[in-house]
Amino acid sequence: MLGEDHAIVIEFPEHKEKISELNKTDSAFAESARRYHALDQEIRTLELDNAPIDDDAMHQLKHDRAVLKDAIYQRLQG
């Protein structure tokens, strides 16, 4: 669905408390979460504006978001 919010707490609601804790105590996690949020915002904005970038660029943004999401999930499991 275009413009769908993929915020970390929406993607991993079962880890909401740990996400909050790590954002306060782990600067590397907080930076990854910040970058993820910025990418998600950029993607949603582009989707809602009918993606005024080429498909390859949009695919790269979504790939980068997925890589960050995987890294964040791994950290939440640790």
* pLDDT score of 49: 83
* Structural Rg of the chain based on CA atoms: 13
In the chain, where the domains are located: 8-77
* pLDDT score of 40: 95
Over the chain (78 residues), what is each successive 10-residue block's mean pLDDT? 82 97 97 97 89 89 97 95
pTM: 0.88
Supply 43's token pair. Answer: 């993607």
Q: Distance between CA atoms of 32 and 38, rounded to whole angstroms?
A: 10
